Protein backbone atom coordinates (compact mmCIF):
# COMPACT_ATOMS: atom_id res chain seq x y z
CA UNK A 1 0.00 0.00 0.00
CA UNK A 2 1.42 3.36 -1.06
CA UNK A 3 1.48 6.02 1.68
CA UNK A 4 0.02 9.39 0.89
CA UNK A 5 1.96 12.58 1.54
CA UNK A 6 -1.30 14.46 1.97
CA UNK A 7 -0.98 16.87 4.90
CA UNK A 8 -4.70 17.58 5.14
CA UNK A 9 -6.62 17.01 8.39
CA UNK A 10 -8.21 13.92 6.86
CA UNK A 11 -4.78 12.24 6.79
CA UNK A 12 -4.21 12.71 10.52
CA UNK A 13 -5.67 9.32 11.33
CA UNK A 14 -2.76 7.83 9.36
CA UNK A 15 -0.23 9.63 11.58
CA UNK A 16 1.26 11.50 8.62
CA UNK A 17 0.51 15.00 9.83
CA UNK A 18 3.22 15.09 12.50
CA UNK A 19 3.23 16.88 15.81
CA UNK A 20 2.90 20.55 16.48
CA UNK A 21 6.24 22.35 16.68
CA UNK A 22 4.66 25.73 17.40
CA UNK A 23 6.20 27.74 20.21
CA UNK A 24 4.96 31.36 20.16
CA UNK A 25 7.39 34.26 20.22
CA UNK A 26 6.85 37.81 21.44
CA UNK A 27 8.41 40.78 19.68
CA UNK A 28 10.90 41.07 22.54
CA UNK A 29 11.93 37.42 22.14
CA UNK A 30 12.33 37.87 18.38
CA UNK A 31 14.48 40.95 18.99
CA UNK A 32 16.75 39.06 21.41
CA UNK A 33 17.12 36.15 18.99
CA UNK A 34 17.98 38.43 16.08
CA UNK A 35 20.47 40.37 18.17
CA UNK A 36 22.15 37.13 19.25
CA UNK A 37 22.16 35.86 15.65
CA UNK A 38 24.03 38.94 14.49
CA UNK A 39 27.02 37.88 16.63
CA UNK A 40 26.59 34.09 16.47
CA UNK A 41 28.65 31.50 14.67
CA UNK A 42 26.95 29.52 11.90
CA UNK A 43 25.88 26.64 14.17
CA UNK A 44 24.17 28.92 16.67
CA UNK A 45 22.67 31.06 13.89
CA UNK A 46 21.15 27.91 12.41
CA UNK A 47 19.58 27.04 15.78
CA UNK A 48 18.16 30.55 16.03
CA UNK A 49 16.74 30.29 12.51
CA UNK A 50 14.94 27.07 13.48
CA UNK A 51 13.63 28.68 16.68
CA UNK A 52 12.23 31.60 14.67
CA UNK A 53 10.37 29.21 12.39
CA UNK A 54 8.83 27.58 15.47
CA UNK A 55 7.03 30.88 16.10
CA UNK A 56 4.74 30.22 13.13
CA UNK A 57 1.26 29.06 14.13
CA UNK A 58 0.50 25.74 12.47
CA UNK A 59 4.12 24.68 12.04
CA UNK A 60 4.52 20.92 12.40
CA UNK A 61 7.32 18.43 12.72
CA UNK A 62 8.18 16.95 10.32
CA UNK A 63 7.81 20.06 8.20
CA UNK A 64 5.13 20.14 5.50
CA UNK A 65 6.25 20.48 1.90
CA UNK A 66 3.54 23.05 1.13
CA UNK A 67 0.75 25.03 2.71
CA UNK A 68 0.41 28.29 4.66
CA UNK A 69 2.86 27.38 7.45
CA UNK A 70 5.47 26.27 4.89
CA UNK A 71 5.02 29.51 2.93
CA UNK A 72 5.60 31.52 6.11
CA UNK A 73 8.62 29.38 7.00
CA UNK A 74 10.17 30.11 3.60
CA UNK A 75 9.63 33.85 4.14
CA UNK A 76 11.11 33.64 7.65
CA UNK A 77 14.17 31.76 6.35
CA UNK A 78 14.75 34.21 3.49
CA UNK A 79 14.33 37.21 5.78
CA UNK A 80 16.71 35.68 8.33
CA UNK A 81 19.45 35.13 5.75
CA UNK A 82 19.00 38.58 4.18
CA UNK A 83 18.48 40.31 7.52
CA UNK A 84 21.73 39.20 9.09
CA UNK A 85 23.49 41.82 6.99
CA UNK A 86 20.81 44.46 6.36
CA UNK A 87 17.88 46.43 7.79
CA UNK A 88 17.59 47.82 11.26
CA UNK A 89 16.79 45.50 14.11
CA UNK A 90 13.41 47.09 14.85
CA UNK A 91 12.39 46.81 11.20
CA UNK A 92 13.38 43.15 11.14
CA UNK A 93 11.49 42.38 14.35
CA UNK A 94 8.34 43.93 12.89
CA UNK A 95 8.75 41.99 9.63
CA UNK A 96 9.25 38.66 11.43
CA UNK A 97 6.31 39.30 13.75
CA UNK A 98 4.06 40.26 10.83
CA UNK A 99 4.92 37.08 8.90
CA UNK A 100 4.35 34.87 11.94
CA UNK A 101 1.01 36.42 12.78
CA UNK A 102 -0.50 37.08 9.35
Residue 76 structural domain: 19-100
44 part of a folded domain: yes
pLDDT tens digits for 46-91? 999 999 999 999 999 999 999 999 999 999 999 999 886 666 888 8
pLDDT of residue 88: 80
For residue 84, report the phi and psi dihedrals to the nearest 5 degrees: -65, -20
Look at the chain and report how many structural domains it folds into. 1
pLDDT of residue 85: 65
41 part of a folded domain: yes
pLDDT tens digits for 20-45? 999 999 999 999 999 999 899 999 99
For residue 54, what are the CA distances in angstroms to 67, 83, 87, 88, 96?
Answer: 15, 18, 22, 22, 12
Q: What is the mean pLDDT of residues 7-28?
A: 69
Amino acid sequence: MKKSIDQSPSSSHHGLEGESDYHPLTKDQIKKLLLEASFADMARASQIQVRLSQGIPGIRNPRAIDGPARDKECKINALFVEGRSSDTLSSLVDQFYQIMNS
